[in-house]
Amino acid sequence: MNVSAIRVAAAPSITIFVRHSGDCPHAGNEFYKRCGCSKHLRWSYGGRQFRQSAKTRTWSIAEERRHEIEARFKAADPINPVGTVTVEAVTRQTIERAVELFISDKRTQGLDAGFLKKYERELGRLAEFMTAQSRFFPHEMTLEDFTEFRAGWKDTYPSSTTRSKVQERLRSFLRYCYAARLIDRIPQLSSIRIEAPPTMPLSDSEYKKLLKAIPNEFEGDKAKRIDALIQLMRHSGLAIQDAVTLERTELKKDRGKELYRIVTSRQKTGTHVSVPIRSEIAKELIEAMKLNGNPRYVFWQTGNGKVKTVLSNWGNDLRRLFRAAGFPEGHPHQLRDTFAVGLLEKGVPLEEVSKLLGHESIKTTEKHYAPWVKARQDRLDSVIVATWTREKKGHRAKVEKNLSPIN
């Protein structure tokens, strides 16, 4: 006789219980059916505990809700008889479990702990929202659910830039679910318009003014270290977090080409970055190392505690410098923008600039820097200038046609 494995439903057993009000005389019995207190449901599935309001005070209606949920769990693990004898229990991943697997996958990519916490926090909110909507499995999530979920973001994330980044992380999770065959299509969420104006690069005069303000605002070793950090960010394009946590070993001497380069991985994305820098800037970094007692880092003195703390401290110093230089709205990210725009204006292709910045996708680079692409602007200029030439020729021909010879 052939032995075949069959799938059987692994639906949970759902229990109804009562959350009594403080003055209910039956408060000691969570299974008392006849009081008017709120009825709730609880069950275990996939090694996790679930609790949900039945949204009723009537036991019989709670029974109906229980049967509805059990039926959906059975549908998620359908019975598919193929012969008999061996029985194999199969369970489909819940939304919470899918979130855990996704974050575990992100963790293996070497992302910064702070970045992982953003995924955990935001996707945790998604799982809680979906549970409240009685959505337990990824394939049950609908576009309408995501639309309603996103509607509450303005209170949670006041900045439109932050909301846009949260949505990018949500899309990343949905792409993972699609690749893992937990959903059969990715809901098409409309884009979020960024209301904040883009950070602008510094002009040459503004950059010189910023450097000139350093000795007036800081003293001694602090001034030298600030100067080295500013020069590093401007001429390598490193974001402030990557710059202040730069390790000594990530400044390398390329003896074959007789130049220095920064070789690191972006903490935000884990993307590899290798950028050559001028020898005079490398020398400033080497001097900054001597002023820093930490044997591992160039700028991080303690090397202990949270990255968030050292990032905040250096960020405050740089904002203070921008204000002293006469740029009250200035921001450290402008140094990275100045590096990128400087290359694009000199004709460096967008694809190459994207690699130097350590962007995961060229779409990110294009989103922020497309207006500065010199080659693209040159093509557009040539198209417009060509129309001027055609207009002049057409006008000259028309004039000549209307002129009659003088006898």
Distance linking the first and last C-alpha atoms of the chain: 115
Q: Cα(230)–Cα(211) distance, rounded to whole angstroms?
A: 8
Say whether pLDDT at 230 is over 50.
yes
What pLDDT score does 1 carry? 34
3-state helix, strand, coil in the chain (%, to 5): 55, 15, 35
Say whether pLDDT at 399 is over 60.
no
The three state secondary structure string of 300-356 is CCCCCCCHHHHHHHHHHHHHHHHHHCCCCCCCCHHHHHHHHHHHHHCCCCHHHHHHH
Contact 366, 261 (CB under 8 A): no
Q: Which two tokens stand for residue 289?
A: 């190392």
Instruction: Read off the pLDDT of each residue in 76-100 and give the average, rounded to a whole number.
Output: 60
pLDDT band (50, 70, 90) for residue 379: low
What pLDDT score does 44 carry? 81
Render pLDDT for 246-300 as a digit per residue (tens, 0 to 9).
999 999 988 888 889 999 988 777 788 899 999 999 999 999 999 988 899 999 9
What pLDDT score does 345 carry? 85
Render pLDDT for 308-352 as a digit per residue (tens, 0 to 9).
889 999 999 999 999 999 999 899 999 999 999 999 888 888 899
Say whether pLDDT at 206 is over 90.
yes
Residues 6+ apart with CB under 8 A from 270: 109, 110, 111
Instruction: Read off the pLDDT of each residue in 94-122 and give the average, rounded to a whole number.
Output: 88
pLDDT band (50, 70, 90) for residue 405: low
Instruction: Read off the pLDDT of each residue in 386-391 and give the average, rounded to a whole number.
Output: 72
Instruction: Read off the pLDDT of each residue in 127-151 and give the average, rounded to a whole number.
Output: 90
Q: Of 388 and 77, which is predicted with more confidence?
A: 388
Render pLDDT for 170-195 as a digit per residue (tens, 0 to 9).
999 999 999 988 888 899 989 888 77
Say whether pLDDT at 4 is over 50.
no
In 226-381, at which residue ranges do the beta strands (DSSP E only) sit? 251-254, 259-265, 272-277
| Residue 254, beta-bridge partner list | 259
What pLDDT score does 347 carry? 85
What pLDDT score does 198 carry? 65
What pLDDT score does 89 carry? 41
Give the mean pLDDT of the chain.
84
